[in-house]
């Protein structure tokens, strides 16, 4: 395998944690398979070079080479109209065998279109791992998963949910290459308004802790919540709740949280205390329950 390309999505001026985890997994794959790991970092402003700045973070995170592209159009959320031409241009030059994106709104916007353009296989809920025979790739988990088998003679685009892998912890210094972004496509979608909207949150559990947490987060009923938080144990179990099953991100708090099926994140301990602490921390934030 020659090249692995990881698209680095920024959340404000920081690397989205999902992208950093993906870079860590790319590093592990790269070391095992002898591949070079490229981190494509589209930034609105040129980053600094101090210890906590983007390039240092990506170096420590596992990049062999940071491809740095700076343009004002990268200031907004990542999407094909603004970031697609850059990705396309880098793919044409580097011809990655594996293109990795965190399965965020932005990652999904880029991933499918890039895959179609490259004629690549596409995994939208991917596990990307390696064994003695090479890459092992799944789409989905457990019994409902699908796997790409055999010697892959084509490129693969994989969208990996945040939280699936651990970030890398290296101390190597990555090479930095400045990439000139192509001009934005003419006649693109033009953003004409933006309004903050809190995430839709559902809290599962009974008692004062759940009630307080629900109030702090502005929780309500929602068909498809962005976030579901279960204070364990719940009656019935979270898996029987439609809101839990349909939530984009699920969090379990309580003594058996690590064993809670379907949760992306868990914190172990006394559920009431954890819920109260969470309510205090997010309730104190300037924008309350939403982003």
> Taking CB under 8 A as the criterion, which residues in 120-159 touch other proteins?
120-125, 127, 129, 137-149, 154
Q: Which is nearer to other proteins, 34 or 119 (CB)?
A: 119
Task: Give yes or no for residue 108 binding other proteins (CB under 8 A).
Answer: yes
Please give the structure tokens belonging to residue 60. 């420590």
Task: Give yes or no for residue 57 binding other proteins (CB under 8 A).
Answer: no
Helices 208-217, 271-283: axis angle to 10 degrees equals 20
- 56, 89, 199, 211: which one contacts other proteins (CB under 8 A)? 199
∠ CA 92-128-53, nearest 5°, is: 65
Name the minimum Å distance from CB 175 to other proteins.
Answer: 27
Task: Give yes or no for residue 89 binding other proteins (CB under 8 A).
Answer: no
Task: Kindly report the number of other CB atoms within 10 A of residue 23's CB atom.
Answer: 30
Residues in contact with other proteins, shown as a per-residue x/- string from 215 to 254 under the rule CB under 8 A: --x-----xx-xx------------------x--x-xx--
CA distances from residue 141 to 7, 44, 145, 161 in whole angstroms, order as listed: 23, 36, 5, 11
Please give the structure tokens belonging to residue 241. 């709740």
Task: Give yes or no for residue 91 binding other proteins (CB under 8 A).
Answer: no
How would you label 221-249 residue by residue, b for 16+ Cβ within 10 Å and e otherwise?
A: ebeebbbbbbbbebeeebeebebbeebeb
Identify residues 255-284 at the interface with other proteins (CB under 8 A).
Answer: 257-258, 260, 262-268, 274, 277-278, 281-282, 284
Segment near other proteins (CB under 8 A), from 37-45, 54-62, 71-79, 89-97?
71-79
Task: Give yes or no for residue 80 binding other proteins (CB under 8 A).
Answer: yes
Q: Is 203 helix (H, G, I), strand (E, B) or coil?
A: strand
């Amino acid at each position: 395998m020659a090249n692995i390309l990881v698209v680095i999505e920024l959340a404000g001026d920081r690397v989205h944690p999902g992208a950093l985890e993906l870079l860590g997994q790319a590093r592990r794959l790269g070391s095992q398979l002898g591949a070079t790991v490229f981190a494509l970092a589209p930034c609105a402003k040129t980053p600094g070079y101090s210890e906590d700045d983007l390039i240092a973070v990506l170096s420590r995170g596992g990049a062999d080479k940071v491809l740095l592209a700076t343009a004002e159009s990268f200031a907004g959320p990542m999407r094909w109209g603004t970031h697609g031409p850059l990705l396309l241009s880098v793919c044409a030059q580097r011809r990655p065998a594996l293109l990795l994106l965190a399965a965020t709104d932005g990652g999904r916007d880029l991933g499918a279109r890039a895959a179609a353009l490259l004629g690549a296989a596409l995994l939208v809920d991917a596990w990307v791992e390696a064994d003695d025979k090479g890459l092992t790739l799944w789409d989905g988990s457990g019994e409902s998963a699908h796997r790409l088998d055999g010697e892959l003679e084509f490129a693969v685009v994989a969208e990996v949910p945040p939280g699936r892998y651990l970030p890398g912890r290296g101390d190597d210094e990555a090479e930095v290459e400045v990439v000139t972004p192509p001009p934005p496509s003419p006649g693109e979608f033009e953003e004409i308004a933006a309004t903050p909207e809190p995430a839709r949150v559902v809290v599962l559990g009974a008692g004062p802790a759940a009630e307080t947490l629900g109030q702090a987060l502005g929780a309500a009923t929602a068909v498809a919540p962005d976030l579901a938080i279960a204070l364990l144990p719940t009656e019935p179990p979270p898996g029987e709740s439609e809101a839990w099953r349909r939530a984009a991100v699920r969090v379990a708090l309580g003594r058996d949280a690590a064993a809670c099926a379907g949760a992306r994140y868990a914190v172990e301990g006394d559920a009431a205390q954890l819920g109260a602490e969470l309510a205090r921390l997010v309730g104190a934030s300037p924008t309350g329950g939403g982003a």
